[in-house]
Structure 1
Amino acid sequence: MAKITLTVEPRGKPIRRLPKTLTIALDASGEDLHNMIADVSGSSVHRLRITKGSDRSVVPNAKDTTIDDTGLRESSVIHIKDLGPQIAWRTVFIIEYLGPLLIPALFLFPLRPLLYFNFDTIPAPSDTQLLVCALLTLHFLKREYETIFVHRFSNATMPARNIFKNSAHYWALAGFNIAYWVFRPDSVAAVSEPNPILQYAGLTLFAFGEIFNFNAHLILRGLRRPGTTERGIPQGFGFNMVTCPNYMFEIIAWLGIWLASQLNWSVIIFTLVGGLQMWSWAWKKEKRYRKDFGDKYKKKRTVLLAGIC
């Protein structure tokens, strides 16, 4: 197919060795264009954002989008932006979950005398506190396993500076917040005889939520081939009820931890904050499914919790 010459201009921070023009075939892919710019400029391909000068729309870094598809023509202008240092999404998730994975056991055992020094006596952790610590550890071990072996990511990287913002939610609310308040010597979880109904109901919800959350993640993984960003319509248990059953089962598991903690307020605070964020993400995904698949997709009235929201 014919070749065209594009005018290349930096946007924002100057990029060393960025060429003023670039010749590329119309049947080359967006991925080819990104790789060419990265090669000639010596930049990481993950740091580059390419937009069209005519309307500032993004030229996707994708194998299935050709230069012809983007509407670029002879002498079209493209803007190249350096996004700055990047970090792999997989690494981001590993770091996010590492805090709440380690903090509960640290607070309950080696740091316990330091954290609760103002108590006259610091009793040994109650069975309920040990149970909550075990549930939190299992939950975030599962999260780490899924991050490494199950999840596939649409984008390879994100700006490195965002790691602190992304980690704050889990380290602060799921780590420090829950561990400190649940493991206090005077917390509701410190009782010697917990309510057995709350305890067994909590364990049941936790097991149900974790198992089917994992199942939903396996279904979502099967919709995307390695190295691609293509998506299919998810089907399976839960997907006929809400847009994102993985979020629904996540909330069910956290409600289980809340019950097992004997209704400790710090657990429900984390669950509510996380639930609001997941509700927002779920509606965005519902809108994307409707746009991408049209009449092939059965619209959902509730996206997060069946029959509620």
Structure 2
Amino acid sequence: SIAAVASAVGTLCRAAQLGSSSGAVAALGGSHEALRGGDSGCKDKGEAVFLGQELTSLRLCFPQVEPHATIAEIKNLFTKTHPQWYPARQSLRLDPKGKSLKDEDVLQKLPVGTTATLYFRDLGAQISWVTVFLTEYAGPLFIYLLFYFRVPFIYGHKYDFTSSRHTVVHLACICHSFHYVKRLLETLFVHRFSHGTMPLRNIFKNCTYYWGFAAWMAYYINHPLYTPPTYGAQQVKLALAIFVICQLGNFSIHMALRDLRPAGSKTRKIPYPTKNPFTWLFLLVSCPNYTYEVGSWIGFAIMTQCLPVALFSLVGFTQMTIWAKGKHRSYLKEFRDYPPLRMPIIPFLL
């Protein structure tokens, strides 16, 4: 068997590099320098200076860890002795600046020889992706409706619970509500997440972004002094067509990606177009779901002719471009036969 040794120092740990006569040793830590221990010191305690503070290191030995043990199993062993660091909160790496090891990685297949030094890092409190998505998407849905129905204390007493005389205002409410209801339903029934959790702090950042922009755009679109688009009904109809087409396209891509990954699996495959015409955009871009998402908000901006919506579209496009480039690089790195004509998000350009 392989002895797995965990060395924890406060929230961010140093590594304990130990020898073992029976096989490889896995040591958990998180700093750039390693604490050195004796080859039999499983119960040893040492001290180190980290960020100007004196911290205590406790080295724990877990016997009967088989060579085919996975990183997930090592995390579970570590959690038994340090319950505050549950598996989703742990990041184990071969190098302090390297990438986190995957839960399915097998200990004996790691490039560590007979001695393994794993660096531990606390990822902080975690929250499920489903919870984050439901929270950040439900907020804009209800916030927008508060402005649409003109509840008291928003536009003044004489406008309380009044209704706009402009058709585009009601159409915008339908489109906005449909978009977020769609997102909520996709979160519950369509999306399959490769990672179960994300840092808790992200929910505050994400909600500030989505909720804040929803309130900003809703305030102006539903304002009693709102003026309709310059080119009237023709502009609204064109924008509505763009919005609807892009929403259908976005949903089609999400369904195609869902079918690509079996339930409970982390398998990654190259996405290809299906018989659904909306998926044919896969021929040109790696992340057509982002392309359609940006298109939806461009349509909404044209429909409402509202500056906050245009800014939301621009910020969203910037962020989704970053995500798309990252996924595109991952595809190129992982699949040698990846289609060379694809761009990350905009065909032939970006």
Shorter-chain TM band? 0.7 to 0.9
Deviation at 1:137, TM superposition (A): 0.2
* 1:215 aligned counterpart, secondary structure: helix
Identity of aligned residues (%): 30
Give the one of 254, 261, 271 matched to 2:297.
Answer: 254
Q: What do the CA deviations read for 1:169-198 (whole angstroms, capped 9, x no partner)?
A: 11111x111101111122223x8x971111
Highest relative contact order (Cα 8 Å, sep 6+), 1 or 2?
1
* 1:115 aligned counterpart, secondary structure: coil
Structure with the bigger percentage of strand: 2
1:290 aligns with 2:332: yes
For structure 1, which runs of at least 5 residues remain unmatched after alignment? none
| Aligned residue in 1 for 2:154 | 115
| Aligned residue in 2 for 1:266 | 308
1:143 aligns with 2:183: yes
Structure with the bigger percentage of helix: 1
Deviation at 1:61, TM superposition (A): 1.2
Whether contact under 8 Å (2:159, 2:224) holds in the other structure is no
Deviation at 1:150, TM superposition (A): 0.7
* 1:32 aligned counterpart, secondary structure: helix
1:169 aligns with 2:209: yes
Deviation at 1:19, TM superposition (A): 5.7
1:86 aligns with 2:126: yes
In structure 2, what residue type is equivalent to 1:232? K
Residues 184 and 57 (structure 1), Cα distance of their counterparts in 2 relative to 1, 3 Å cut = closer
Superposition pairs for residues 209-220 of structure 1, below 5 Å? 209-220=246-257
Specify the structure having the higher radius of gyration (Cα).
2
Superposition pairs for residues 222-233 of structure 1, below 5 Å? 222-233=259-270
1:197 aligns with 2:234: yes
Q: Point out the more displaced range, 210-219 or 14-23.
A: 14-23
Whether contact under 8 Å (1:31, 1:61) holds in the other structure is yes
| Aligned residue in 2 for 1:34 | 75
| Aligned residue in 2 for 1:97 | 137
The normalised TM-score by structure 2 is 0.78
Residues 79 and 134 (structure 1), Cα distance of their counterparts in 2 relative to 1, 3 Å cut = same
1:277 aligns with 2:319: yes
1:235 aligns with 2:261: no
* 1:114 aligned counterpart, secondary structure: coil
Q: What do the CA deviations read for 1:72-103 (whole angstroms, capped 9, x no partner)?
A: 45443333333332110111011111111111
Whether contact under 8 Å (2:243, 2:297) holds in the other structure is yes
Q: What do the CA deviations read for 1:236-255 (whole angstroms, capped 9, x no partner)?
A: 12111111110111112112
Deviation at 1:71, TM superposition (A): 2.5
1:134 aligns with 2:177: no
Residues 21 and 14 (structure 1), Cα distance of their counterparts in 2 relative to 1, 3 Å cut = farther
* 2:282 aligned counterpart, secondary structure: coil
Whether contact under 8 Å (2:92, 2:121) holds in the other structure is yes
Deviation at 1:222, TM superposition (A): 1.7
Whether contact under 8 Å (2:191, 2:254) holds in the other structure is yes
In structure 2, what residue type is equivalent to 1:242? V
* 1:202 aligned counterpart, secondary structure: helix
Distance across 2 between alignment mates of 1:94 and 1:222: 22
In structure 2, what residue type is equivalent to 1:86? Q
Q: What do the CA deviations read for 1:93-143 (whole angstroms, capped 9, x no partner)?
A: 1111111111111111142x4222298999631321111011100000000
Distance across 2 between alignment mates of 1:184 and 1:54: 53
| Aligned residue in 2 for 1:244 | 287
* 2:124 aligned counterpart, secondary structure: coil
Whether contact under 8 Å (2:246, 2:293) holds in the other structure is yes
Q: Point out the more displaced range, 278-287 or 3-12.
A: 3-12
In structure 1, what residue type is equivalent to 2:178? L
| Aligned residue in 1 for 2:8 | 10
Give the one of 58, 61, 66 matched to 2:106.
Answer: 66
| Aligned residue in 1 for 2:94 | 52
Residues 44 and 209 (structure 1), Cα distance of their counterparts in 2 relative to 1, 3 Å cut = same
* Root mean square deviation, CA, Å: 2.7
Give the one of 29, 49, 60 matched to 1:20.
Answer: 60
In structure 1, what residue type is equivalent to 2:169? Q
| Aligned residue in 2 for 1:184 | 223
The normalised TM-score by structure 1 is 0.87
Whether contact under 8 Å (2:12, 2:120) holds in the other structure is no
In structure 2, what residue type is equivalent to 1:260? M
